[in-house]
Amino acid sequence: MKRDPMHFIKPELMPRKVKGPDGVEFEVEPLRDYFCDAPPTVQHGAYLKIVEDFFNWARAQSLWILGFGTGCGAIEMRPLMTPRFDAYRYGIQWRPTARQANLLVISGYLSTKTLKRAIRAYEQMQNPKYVVGLGSCTINGGMYWDSYNTIKCLDQYLPVDLYITGCMPRPEALLQGFEDLKKLIRAGQAEGANRYAENFTWYKANQKQVIHDWDMPDYNW
C-alpha cells in the first residue's frame, strides 16, 4: 500500500492554473509561490557580551509558553496557572500565538500528526526560542514505546533544551525544570534555534522520514 507523496497534497495546494481578475491565466504552485521557505540562518547575539547577558537575563525572566498541549502532560500545565502553583510569579506566562511565545513545551507523546503541527508552531516562533520535553514519552517513547504513530525521541526532530522526566511530571517538577531552563538561558547555553539552523538539513531529513504527507514549505516563517 505504498503511495507516492503527491497523493497526500491537498487540492488547494496542488499546482494549477488560475485566471486573474484581468482575464490572464497563469500558473500557481501554492507551496512555492505563497510561502517563503528560505532556511533559517544562525543569528548572533549582541556584540557586547554585557548587552547579551542583559538580554539573557530578560529572556530568562520572561518565559512565554506557547499554549499548545500534546499528550497527557498538557494536563499538568494547567495547575501551574492556579493559585496553588502560580507560575506567573516566576515570570512564566502563556501566550496563545506562536509569534509571541518563546518556549515550546512538548507536553508528552507526540504523534506524527501532532509533530507536524509542533514543527510549524516551533518554526513560527522567533529566535531565540526554547523547547522543553515533558515526560518519558518525549525522551524514549515512554509507555508508547511500541506505538505505530508516536515518535520516540524528540531531539531527533526539534532542538530540545531540557527534558523533564516523569510519567507524568508533577507541577513542582515543571517549575523546577523551568528554573533550570532559566539557568541555561542566563548562561547563554540555550541556543536551540541556532542549533536548528545549523543542522537544518539533518532535522528536516528526520522530520520528513516520519511525516509522510509533507504538504508544507520546508520552513514555516
- Contacts with another protein by CB under 8 A lie at 1-3, 8, 43-46, 54-55, 57-59, 61-62, 64, 67, 82-83, 86, 88-89, 91, 93-97, 99-100, 102, 112-113, 116, 126-128, 139-141, 145-153, 156, 206, 209-214, 221
Task: Report whether 125 contacts 59 (CB < 8 A).
Answer: no
Residue 71 lies near ligand SF4 (rule: CB under 6 A):
yes
C-beta of residue 130 within 8 angstroms of C-beta of residue 190: yes
User: Please, what is the minimum distance in Å from the beta carbon of residue 32 to another protein?
Assistant: 18
The Cα–Cα gap between 136 and 59 comes to: 27
Q: Which does 167 bind (CB under 5 to 8 A by kind): another protein, ligand SF4, none?
A: ligand SF4
Q: Is 177 in the site for ligand SF4 (CB under 6 A)?
A: no
Q: How many residues bind ligand SF4 (CB under 6 A)?
A: 12
Binders in 32-61 for ligand SF4, by CB under 6 A: none
Q: Shortest approach of another protein to residue 120 CB, angstroms?
A: 13
Amino acid type, 52: E
Nearest residue (CB) to ligand SF4, 162 versus 168: 168
* Opening angle at CA 130, ends 195 and 166, nearest 5: 110
Nearest to 80 by CA among 132, 25, 8, 155: 132
137 is in the binding site of which of another protein, ligand SF4, none (Cβ under 5 to 8 A by kind)? ligand SF4
Judged by CB under 6 A, the residue of 69, 128, 133, 135 near ligand SF4 is: 135
Is 133 among the residues that bind ligand SF4 (CB under 6 A)?
A: no
Residue bearing cell 532556511: 39
What does the radius of gyration of the chain's CA atoms come to, in whole angstroms? 19
94 phi-psi bin (left φ>0, alpha ψ -120 to 50, beta other): beta
Do 159 and 131 form a contact (C-beta atoms < 8 A)? yes
> Choosing among another protein, ligand SF4, none, which partner's interface includes residue 28 (Cβ < 5 to 8 Å by kind)?
none
Q: What interhelical angle do 49-61 and 171-186 show, nearest 10?
A: 170
Contacts with ligand SF4 by CB under 6 A lie at: 71-73, 108-109, 135-137, 142-143, 167-168
